[in-house]
Amino acid sequence: MMLPLALTLATALVPRPQGDPVADWSEDVMQLVSELERMHPNPFAGCPQADFEQGVDEFLGGLEGASEAKATVGLMRLMARLSLAGREGHSVVWPMASKSLPLRLYGFDDGWFVVDASSAQREWIGARVVTIGGTPIEEACARLAPLLTRDNDWNLRDKLANALSCVDVLVGAGICADPEHLALELERDGARKALVLAAEPGHPHLAFPLSQRKDELWLAGHDKAFAWQVLEPEHALYVQFNEVTRADASGRTLADFAAEVVRTFAERKLARLIVDVRANGGGDNTTFGPLIQALQSPAIDRPGVLFGLIGRHTFSAAGNFVTVLQRDTKAILLGEPTGGAPNQYGDARDVALPNHPRILVRIATRYHSFGGPQDKRLTHEPNLLVPLRSADYFAGRDPVLRAALDYQPPK
């Protein structure tokens, strides 16, 4: 691709004004393109090179008079072009210094709801989001979607929860005009309420969007890489696999943990084993082998005995784990489709922008083909689709786990 070289030479011949935002952003996008070509194994697999070059031209052409937020969103849009065919959720541009909406939102099967809030706004937890910045919430999602890289549509839905609370993204996309005060319309029990909320410092990025709950199994213990619990009434062993790693914070290895799982299942004479990776956003995909081997034990690897719970946040190395689990065991998958594709570009590394160091830029550096060269899927579809609805979540019910516990094989 000749574009970076040509523009680099052209800009080198012209004295660069100090404090010129157009020159700053131009230098930054050239850095991004240069590093993309150097680091990514196949940068234009999901987007024709000519289309990407057109995107660069559009970005440069829109810089004059653009705000920092609008330019940031333009760079996000450029990176997101690479993921039009999926499998590119690891590469990212994100404004890490942005302020945040004081509400945390989640897209349930029946709409977007407030699932967490800062201390001054906790009364709104449980309310449905109608509009943000005067824009209907689904329209806002449609306007934000072209800014977000993704492996698939479920990965996109996971990332939208971040985008909808990121002030710089909302302002840059033209959804909100005031970076200090954000207008929303919420609905509870049929009554709607218009609010204007002050933006708050700090913004979470790529965190699991649902808060921990001590009284709900799948939302408890997210600080632990892996854990197990016997569910006595159902004679089931519930295994939480939250991070793909060789060892947890205490030093216990996954191999030792896997041996515990096999031993406990046998000693307690249990009937089902359920592996939950709904909160697992990835890790080191060279480390999950011992757990797969444990799940292949003859007493466990049987139809109607082994279950995997998956969802939109199951991504990266966790998606690789599900690929192998599905391929090499008789596990029945329940929940939502995974956010991670069976084959994906990963092992993303940071790229520093010379003039905007607080914008996170990450570029995938390796292609992982756990599904094999013929696997064209963009997600793992569950054997049994179990959507999460707002009423279940706020009532503390887990329909996915319940479906696994109640599962009866077809006759």
How does pLDDT run across 11-31, given as a tens digit for each residue?
Answer: 433 455 668 999 999 999 999
Supply the pLDDT for residue 212. Answer: 86
Supply the pLDDT for residue 5. Answer: 39
Supply the pLDDT for residue 12. Answer: 38
Q: Is residue 319 in a domain?
A: yes
- Are 81 and 126 part of one and the same domain? no
- Are 239 and 337 part of one and the same domain? yes
CA angle 205, 176, 158 (to 5 degrees): 30
Q: Is residue 353 in a domain?
A: no
Amino acid at position 289, single letter: G
- Are 40 and 72 part of one and the same domain? yes
Domain boundary among 165, 198, 231: 198
Q: Is residue 370 in a domain?
A: no
Q: Is residue 228 in a domain?
A: yes
- Are 13 and 139 part of one and the same domain? no
Q: Is residue 162 in a domain?
A: yes
- Are 266 and 384 part of one and the same domain? yes
Positions of the chain with pLDDT lower than 50, given as ranges? 1-2, 4-14
Which one, of 337, 335, 320, lies nearest residue 380 by Cα? 337
Q: Is residue 352 in a domain?
A: no
Which one, of 298, 304, 294, lies nearest residue 331 by Cα? 304
Torsion angle, CA of 189/191/194/195, rounded to 10 degrees? -30
- Are 192 and 221 part of one and the same domain? no
- Are 81 and 225 part of one and the same domain? no
User: Which 3 state secondary structure label does DSSP give 301?
Assistant: coil
- Are 244 and 174 part of one and the same domain? no
Supply the pLDDT for residue 70. Answer: 98
Supply the pLDDT for residue 258. Answer: 98
> What is the pTM for the complete model shown?
0.94
Domain boundary among 42, 69, 90: 90
Which one, of 209, 207, 216, lies nearest residue 238 by Cα? 216
Using CA atoms, how far apart are residues 354 and 347, in angstroms rounded to an integer? 22
Which one, of 344, 311, 278, 343, lies nearest residue 89 by Cα? 344
DSSP state of 337: P
Assess contact for 338 and 319: CB atoms under 8 A.
yes
- What range defines the domain where residue 172 resides? 103-198
Which residues share a beta bridge with 253?
A: 247
- Are 86 and 111 part of one and the same domain? no
Q: Is residue 350 in a domain?
A: no
Pairing of β 272-276 and β 306-310: parallel
- Are 191 and 313 part of one and the same domain? no
Amino acid at position 30, single letter: M
Using CA atoms, how far apart are residues 90 and 387, in angstroms rounded to an integer? 25
Assess contact for 158 and 89: CB atoms under 8 A.
no
- Are 226 and 254 part of one and the same domain? yes
Each residue's pLDDT tens digit, 137-166: 999 999 999 999 999 999 999 999 999 999
Q: For the chain, what is the domain count?
A: 3
Domain boundary among 168, 198, 228: 198
Q: Is residue 211 in a domain?
A: no
Which one, of 142, 148, 30, 48, lies nearest residue 88 by Cα? 148
- Are 250 and 125 part of one and the same domain? no
Lay out the sheet containing 349-350: strands in order across.
92-95, 359-363, 349-350
Q: Residue 163 maps to which CATH number?
A: 2.30.42.10
